[in-house]
């Protein structure tokens, strides 16, 4: 138990669906992150939020839309995804964006 | 951030020490060495980090060579639950420095 929770743990969606992934941290941290881990590939950083402001966006397609309404919550809104977007999506948080990161268990996403 | 090189896989007997090496020959003076691990289908877990001195915590020890070009993560008494992919990451403590995960080392602890 790392203090970072993610819901849902598993998600299957069609290419025309709209869904959202949720991350919540109970650690009082100020920075939150979204990572993508495709099969047999290293983790890829997608977005970084520090004090609720997006500070990094690594050329992620617009079909992924992050939202950080407060320092404890982070969402990843998904729409018109492709089958190659199937992956494990991991959320992490840290005290600030230079400190060690605590990861959630991930959401296993399958796009049909 | 400096690039790291790790062996693809290693085996260790349960109860023995596991020594995981990492080369980071291009590390610069203000860059830290971080170690994380990822047990299958779980999120990565922070283990330890250091700058130039050796570090120890309840999980592991980190030995950094004097020239800082390589380091070794030591799990003193490996258990089956230590089977995971171990990532060595070099990261600068400057604004915008990201945590970049490579391929890591698959450590398998055998009974």
pLDDT class of B1 with cuts at 50, 70, 90: low
- Which two tokens mark B98? 């990201």
Which residues of chain A are within 8 Å of residue B98 when distances are taken between CB atoms?
45, 48, 56
| Each residue's pLDDT tens digit, A34-87 | 999 998 788 999 999 988 777 777 789 999 999 999 999 999 999 999 999 999
Nearest to A24 by CA among A36, A11, A7: A7
pLDDT at A6: 97
Residue A24 has pLDDT above 90, yes or no: yes
CA distance B66 to chain A (A): 24
Specify the pairing of strand A53-57 against strand A44-50: antiparallel
Mean per-residue pLDDT, B47-76: 95
pLDDT at B94: 62
Residue B95 has pLDDT above 70, yes or no: no
pLDDT at B2: 65
Nearest to A34 by CA among B35, B89, B32, B98: B98
Residue whose token pair is 């600068």: B92
Burial of B87 (0-12, 13-18, 19+ CB in 10 A): buried
- Angle ∠(B64,B69,B73) on CA atoms, nearest 5: 35
Residue B5 has pLDDT above 60, yes or no: yes
Residue whose token pair is 């020594």: B19
- Check B44 against A90: CB less than 8 A apart: yes
Contact indicator for A106, B43 with CB cutoff of 8 Å: yes
pLDDT at A101: 92
- Angle ∠(A26,A13,B102) on CA atoms, nearest 5: 60
pLDDT at B65: 96
pLDDT at B97: 60
- Check B98 against A101: CB less than 8 A apart: no
| Each residue's pLDDT tens digit, B15-29 | 999 999 999 999 988
Please tell me which of the candidates A56, A90, A102 has its beta carbon nearest to residue B46. A102
| Each residue's pLDDT tens digit, A88-101 | 999 999 998 778 89
Mean per-residue pLDDT, B66-91: 96
End-to-end CA gap in chain B? 37
Contact indicator for B107, B90 with CB cutoff of 8 Å: no
- Which two tokens mark B100? 């970049």
């Amino acid at each position: 138990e790392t203090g970072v929770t993610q819901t849902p743990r598993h998600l299957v969606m069609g290419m025309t669906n709209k869904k959202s992934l949720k991350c919540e941290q109970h650690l009082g941290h100020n920075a939150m992150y979204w990572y993508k881990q495709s099969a047999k590939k290293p983790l890829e950083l997608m977005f970084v939020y520090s004090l609720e402001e997006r500070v990094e966006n690594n050329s992620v397609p617009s079909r992924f839309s992050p939202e950080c309404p407060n320092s404890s919550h982070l969402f990843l809104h998904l729409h018109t995804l492709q089958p190659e977007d199937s992956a494990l999506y991991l959320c992490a948080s840290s005290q600030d964006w230079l400190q060690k990161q605590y990861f959630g268990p991930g959401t296993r996403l399958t796009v049909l | 951030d400096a690039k790291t090189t790790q062996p693809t896989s290693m085996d260790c007997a349960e109860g023995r020490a596991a020594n995981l090496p990492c080369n980071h020959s291009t590390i610069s003076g203000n860059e830290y060495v971080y170690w994380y691990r990822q047990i299958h289908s779980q999120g990565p877990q922070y283990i330890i980090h250091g700058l130039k001195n050796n570090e120890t915590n309840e999980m592991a020890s980190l030995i950094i060579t004097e020239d800082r070009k390589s380091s070794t993560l030591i799990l003193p008494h490996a258990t089956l639950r230590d089977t995971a992919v171990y990532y060595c990451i070099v990261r600068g403590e400057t604004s915008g420095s990201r945590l970049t995960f490579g391929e890591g080392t698959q450590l398998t602890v055998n009974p």
